[in-house]
Amino acid sequence: MPVVAVAVPVHLSRSFDYIYSDDIHIEPGMRICVPFMNKQLIGIALTTKNDSEFPLAKLKPIINILDDNAILSTDMLAFFNWCADYYHYPIGEVIAQALPVLLRKLESAKLNSYTFWQLTDRAHELTAPELNRLTPAQLQTIKLLAETGLTQSHLKLANIKSTTIKALQDKGLISQEYIEIQDNDAQHWRQNLVISDNRPSLNTEQAITIAAIDINHFATYLLDGVTGSGKTEVYLNVIEKVLKTGKQALVIVPEIGLTPQTISRFKRRFNVPIVALHSGLNDAERREAWLEAQAGVAGIVIGTRSAIFTPMHDLGVIIIDEEHDGSLKQQETFRYHARDLAIVRAHRNNIAVVLGSATPALETLHNAMTGKYRHLKLTQRAGNAQMPIHHLIDIKNQTLNSGLSTAFITLMATHLAAGNQVLLFLNRRGYAPAVMCHTCGSMAECQRCNTYYTYHQSRNILHCHHCDEQFPKPRRCPSCDSNEIITAGFGTEQLEAMLTEHFPQYPIIRIDRDSTSRKGSLEKALEAVRKREFRILIGTQMLAKGHHFPDVTLVGLIDVDSALFSSDFRAPEKLAQLFVQVSGRAGRAAKQGEVAIQTHHPGHELIQDLINNGYSHFAQTALHARSMANLPPYSFQALFRAEAHQFSEANAFLVDIKQLVQEHNHNPQLLCLGPMPAPMEKRAGKYRLQLLLQGPQRQHITQLLRLIMPKVEALKSARKARWSLDVDPTEM
Ligand code: ADP
Ligand code: ZN
Ligand code: ZN
């Protein structure tokens, strides 16, 4: 009897064998419903064979197969296997998280047809007065469709509402055509490819860069270009080359980068169907998008990190925008890095991968220096924008008003009076990071996390940012009953309150997680900023990334001192990236920008190096420090994390792992450090510890983990702790 190995979505690092009758045809990549424990689960067939390492009599039969054909190609299966092996994560769960929710269920994976809207003959004959009677949205739709027919999802991307489509259909101005998808029929866009000629002419650096990117072979290109140097323009040109060969492009952007502006910039250039994998899609749309990518209906797929798992009909290039960005790494469950996987995937497909950034990660720069990646540089801002001027404001002994120095407030007043916008950057939301009793000094502290509560004035609550506990601010001190409860320190909410009072004539907007928790509110806020409805912008990290605000001429970094003295070895790198990215927000258009940094340590080496010598010089210095300390990229790491209600339970588990490491590791260069407390030792009542593996060769760690992981999973102490393994951790 034939046997099929199935990847089942359970947290066990192996596949499971089932028997099936030989009149059934099973291909790897088909979905199969199988019995598992007392449940029925949907898994993916990995291989078929005639034997099993288990006695055939003990194997259960499959329940049924869900697909006539494989829904995952052997190439994608091999890629998922690679991921499971490298990250030591169960293959069943790797595949499950890569599939759209509906395909994890009984839904069909067939894209039978897709709807294509086009103008009717009647629409082509509309007279001017008739056109005038249409609503602006209807007119816009007609204009879009005048160039080419578009799919429903394409119209949706252009913000055309379904009511508008319906109205035009009722008027007999547009009609829909169903296109049956046959094997070669997804080619529609390929034959009708039109590239807009409304585009800037390339500068020399851009032209050289584009010519250097060979789309026919595997290579990793680091596109190292200052903010505003026209990296996106380079991506567009590379994608154009790829589309002309009939292949597809996959573009990965940071979480915050996937704005309607980004998508519309791609759409203005190409008339190919673009699939955007964003959080606004519902399950049906996500399934559709996935299938369109796989069938080759989509020419371009844009998405955040998980889009790296999208199956593509004929992938021609992968682009990773802001390759240094932390959001490319998943920090829970399956802890993959989308940039690293992009390189693996490009290698497997023998295509180019382009990593773009103004502030490349030190790992990436190191790979460029050692010749693993090709280093392409854009050193000039495109158009005629200037680099900003930097001011260091020494706040030692200065009186501060909600954290702002007089010097900075004066600078603000000048820029505002000149009609420009000002951006203040502070990575601390809420009104104040702590509250205390003025009488006895006791601080309000979350007992479950051993951290202070943040005070949010708008809702008058104390909030623990780590375990999410919140409650109304007490009126009296629980220790001494005094009613003098005061705040300590300042956050974005307080800056907003102070500036509203100080600059009543200028409208202020605060953009942080609190003010943008509702879906779509961030987009709305950014749009309002662009329309100059606000003059003062206060934001956290959210505002640091890739937004283009031409009227912002002054950016203030309100507090950088905490990052200068962090225990995280990546903190200087992150601060430098933040500094350069935030500086990039100032004066991007024709206006000269200024950046002000408030610090108690204006002489600090890092700040001086950045300001005087720029990011790439700073990066060399930082890399040197890493090499002296044997830290990544000069070594490789894997981190076990464990948490439990009892300190001893988490500790015992990690001690057991350390024991296993010592038994199996014969390489003196491979170190096992710990168990040690995590940077946040306690969170939501649980104790958190970690154990670090570090060595000069990646393979050593991979091989050791392959040996010990089955044993780690079987440890008795593993049951008493919540634990995870993080290969190539970026947060300790
Ligand atoms: P980056 O992605 O490096 O931040 P962009 O590609 O967004 O830069 O370019 C910044 C601005 O410069 C955009 O408004 C873009 O349209 C413009 N731009 C890009 N290349 C050129 C060029 N060769 N000539 C004129 N303007 C350009
Ligand atoms: Zn008190
Ligand atoms: Zn807490």
Decide if 400 contacts 406 (C-beta within 8 A).
no
Asked whether residue 150 carries a pLDDT value surpassing 70, the answer given is yes
The answer to whether the annotation marks 672 as part of a ligand binding site is no
Q: Give the CA distances from residue 237 to residues 228, 430, 713, in Å, rounded to whole numbers and listed in that order.
A: 16, 43, 48
The pair of structure tokens assigned to 711 is 């044993």
From 226, 227, 233, 253, give the residue whose CB has the most ligand 1 atoms within 8 Å, as the site to mutate: 233
Homologous superfamily (CATH) for 389-431+490-629: P-loop containing nucleotide triphosphate hydrolases (3.40.50.300)
Residues 6+ apart with CB under 8 A from 113: 178, 179, 180, 181
Distance of alpha carbon 522 from its chain centroid, rounded? 16
From 205, 226, 232, give the residue whose CB has the most ligand 1 atoms within 8 Å, as the site to mutate: 232
d(CA 139, CA 566): 56
Q: Which ligand number lies closest to the CA of residue 437?
A: 2
Nearest one of 577, 544, 593 to 357, comparing CA atoms: 577
Mean pLDDT over the full length of the chain: 90
Distance (angstroms) between ligand 2 centre and the Cα of 441 equals 6
Q: Which ligand number lies closest to the CA of residue 469?
A: 3
Distance (angstroms) between ligand 3 centre and the Cα of 514 equals 17
Query: What is residue 587's predicted lDDT score, i.e. its pLDDT?
Result: 65
d(CA 642, CA 674): 12
The answer to whether the annotation marks 83 as part of a ligand binding site is no
- The contacts found for 103-108 with CB under 8 angstroms, 24 or more apart, are 103/31, 103/71, 103/287, 103/290, 104/9, 104/42, 105/42, 106/42, 106/66, 107/287
Whether 200 lines ligand 1, by a CB cut-off of 6 Å, is: yes
d(CA 405, CA 400): 5
Whether 229 lines ligand 1, by a CB cut-off of 6 Å, is: yes
For residue range 229-261, what is the model confidence (pLDDT) as tens digits? 899 999 999 999 999 999 999 999 987 667 777
Q: Which ligand number lies closest to the CA of residue 438?
A: 2
Task: Return the residue whose CA atom lies nearest to atom 10 of ligand 1.
Answer: 228
- Model confidence at 722, pLDDT cuts 50, 70, 90, reads very high
Distance (angstroms) between ligand 3 centre and the Cα of 74 equals 46
Query: What is residue 371's predicted lDDT score, i.e. its pLDDT?
Result: 96
Task: Return the residue whose CA atom lies nearest to atom 4 of ligand 1.
Answer: 228
Stated pTM of the model: 0.86
For residue range 254-273, what is the model confidence (pLDDT) as tens digits? 876 677 778 888 988 998 88
- HEC readout, 284-300: HHHHHHHHHHHHCCCCE
- The residue written with tokens 């801002």 in the block is 381
3-104 and 196-378: identical CATH topology: no
CATH for the 636-727 domain, from 3.30.70.600, 3.40.50.10490, 3.30.1330.40, 3.40.50.720: 3.30.70.600
Which of residues 163 and 692 earns the better pLDDT score?
692
Whether 402 lines ligand 1, by a CB cut-off of 6 Å, is: no
Query: What is residue 113's predicted lDDT score, i.e. its pLDDT?
Result: 55
Residue ranges of domains in the chain: 3-104, 113-180, 196-378, 389-431+490-629, 434-488, 636-727
Query: What is residue 589's predicted lDDT score, i.e. its pLDDT?
Result: 59
Task: Return the residue whose CA atom lies nearest to atom 19 of ligand 1.
Answer: 230
Asked whether residue 112 carries a pLDDT value surpassing 60, the answer given is no
Phi, psi of 465 (to 5 degrees): -75, -5
CATH number of 196-378: 3.40.50.300
Asked whether residue 547 carries a pLDDT value surpassing 70, the answer given is no
Distance (angstroms) between ligand 2 centre and the Cα of 438 equals 7
The answer to whether the annotation marks 437 as part of a ligand binding site is yes
Q: Give the CA distances from residue 231 to residues 210, 356, 443, 511, 546, in Å, rounded to whole numbers and listed in that order.
A: 10, 7, 48, 26, 11
Q: Work out which ligand 1 atom sits closest to the CA atom of 206.
A: 23
Whether 380 lines ligand 1, by a CB cut-off of 6 Å, is: no
Class of domain 3-104 (CATH, top level) = alpha beta
